[in-house]
Chains A and B, each alone.
Chain A
């Protein structure tokens, strides 16, 4: 490995933060603190962390219904995320979004999305805006940043996926399409929802590079997405990156995932991206158990503080329901 210890520690810390954030969220949901849906990304942490490690602060992402990982990897505060899950006013979306819609414009997170595929063209538009900004700045750079669209294997069957790839390739926009192929769309395995194995192959139809990464290996994701991001920054246009991975839990919290063969689950469990990366850090990168335990304690402390913050956060007042429908708040009467 040629990476610095700080970088590797950060990757591990971020993956662990996502894992523990979602494990706690599941418990908090059982305890009645979360009124809405929860789609855990446990098992897919390497995709979020590897991809976001290739991004800069000025870049944008759009995310999916399974977005906690992307959002945390982009630097979001777990406390404000929990507050949003608890539907509190201090949540990122002031209690109006919940898990499906967490956004932070300040961090370039233009929303998790309740509509499968819905964020894909939005990322194309963010990329377009970044080229406009570069043009207005007059520096001669092709773009002021890169946009990343995260989506699943199921989303790649949506028409808007194809429309968006075509448009982005045609206009050579600085966008990276990252498909997290976790082998299921809800309860339906990949072989029953699409006649292909490699979604990356769909890039051929748009004369765009289509590449496959090992989605359970954070460094492989970082390498492959990093190349795509560099190409986008330099004006070489979009790439479709497929990350092969697996979600280790049900589609949503409460789904036991009985539709999946136990040996398949076990095989992927053995490739748990957080566990295998930890082993690699110990075996190949000179980390000691004590080093990693320190990281683990820091993650726990952050989450502990986050939960405490969120539990104490006030609930929204009923009159906030009419705020932010429009920029100038209208009075909410029938035709306002």
Chain B
């Protein structure tokens, strides 16, 4: 169905995460002459994070549409076009501003297929710029993915690497359902191998980012590199960490997580979003229900504190999970439970 490609090779070009996303958009705009992009400042200026740079110049103002600052109308308009068979990718400049468009996302886009008894498709992708980039403070730093995973009808994607970002975004654009595509601002400049070929990464396919045998650390978005650093740090203590990235939260690769737990028997869940009712709570419940037989220790969650994201760097460090807290979480799960 989709041209799957092997994992990136050393010979592949190195691209930034932002460039990988731009390339996905560019290739999809070229592939499908109906596809539109909508968002604030995404046209001639190329977006506040530069992700859409050059697309307006190449495809013109009828394909890459600069909108007024009207989140509800942007999402509603994109949705209307999608209902009429014109796929649209929306950029929400900061995911926090999705609050202004919640009706259109949650009550309209998520529900229309269902409420109409399957009469319509909603080929809509909403790119959500998420998380903190350091001192962006409480209204420009939130990680709101759990809200959307709680709404049936939406798919929720969390890309952590340039390779995944390009492949997942292409899969999201070709998906007939509404997809919220989370991009972490801190990752935009990170680099990685990205094949020049057309490839997709299926939604619902998790990935073993680093193999290990003692503990699985589930991490997504900007927590993936942090979890990798923590894994290296504890390797010296003789703890073998597997880092596992679900890559999409809905659909969620339950079989993949189960396979990882079969190897390790221990689970640490890491996310930037607040701990309370975060996506980690759902994963913990799911594993308790379905993988209890595999667990050698109680599950540990390492998450944002239940506080808004503060501005002062030392406060932000206290609220958001850093490498040190992930290391602590790994040690805690190793110390508890059965050998």
Contact = CB atoms under 8 A, between A and B. Distances in A.
Interface in A308-336: 323-327, 330, 333-336
A111 B117 CA distance: 11
B40 to A, nearest CB: 12
Contacts of B65: 171
Contacts of B289: 334
Contacts of A104: 119
A129 B86 contact: yes
A60 interface: yes
Contact of A160 (B67, B103, B155, B282): B103
B116 A111 contact: yes
Contacts of A147: 80
B286 A114 contact: no
B116 A124 contact: no
B117 A93 contact: yes
Give the interface centre of B78, B117, B249, B251 by most chain A CB atoms within 10 Å.
B117
B133 interface: no
B117 A133 contact: no
Contacts of A326: 113, 153, 155, 177
A324 to B, nearest CB: 4
Interface string A137-166: 000000000010000000000011001101
A111 B115 contact: yes
Contacts of B112: 103, 111
Interface in B99-118: 103-104, 107-108, 112-118
A303 interface: no
A122 B80 contact: yes
Contacts of B177: 326-327
Nearest to B80: A125
B73 A160 contact: yes
Interface in B11-45: 33-34, 36
A94 B113 CA distance: 11
B263 to A, nearest CB: 21
Contacts of A111: 112, 115-116
Interface string B240-262: 00000000011110100000000
Interface in B46-85: 62, 65, 67-68, 70, 72-85
A125 B120 contact: no
B252 A325 contact: no
B114 A96 contact: yes
B152 interface: yes
A110 interface: yes
Given A115-B108, A132-B81, A147-B80, A94 B72 contact: no
B216 interface: no
Contacts of A130: 84
B68 A167 contact: yes
B34 A132 contact: yes
Contact of A164 (B33, B73, B254): B73
A118 B155 contact: no
Interface string B108-151: 10001111111111000000000000000000000000000100
B76 A125 contact: yes
B114 A129 contact: no
Contact of B113 (A110, A127, A325, A333): A325
Contacts of B80: 62, 110, 121-129, 147
Contacts of A136: 33-34
A106 B116 CA distance: 12
B176 interface: yes
Contacts of A115: 103, 107-108
Give the interface centre of A62, A93, A335 by most chain B CB atoms within 10 Å.
A335
Contacts of B36: 128, 132
B83 A110 contact: yes
B112 to A, nearest CB: 7
A170 B120 contact: no
Give the interface centre of B70, B113, B152, B252 by most chain A CB atoms within 10 Å.
B70
A49 interface: no
Interface of A: 60, 62, 91-97, 101, 103-106, 110-111, 113-115, 118, 120-130, 132-133, 135-136, 147, 159-160, 163-164, 166-167, 170-171, 323-327, 330, 333-336
25 contacts: A93-B119, A94-B117, A96-B116, A97-B115, A101-B116, A110-B84, A111-B116, A121-B75, A121-B80, A122-B108, A124-B77, A125-B88, A129-B84, A133-B84, A159-B72, A160-B72, A164-B70, A166-B70, A167-B70, A324-B117, A324-B118, A326-B113, A327-B175, A334-B286, A334-B289
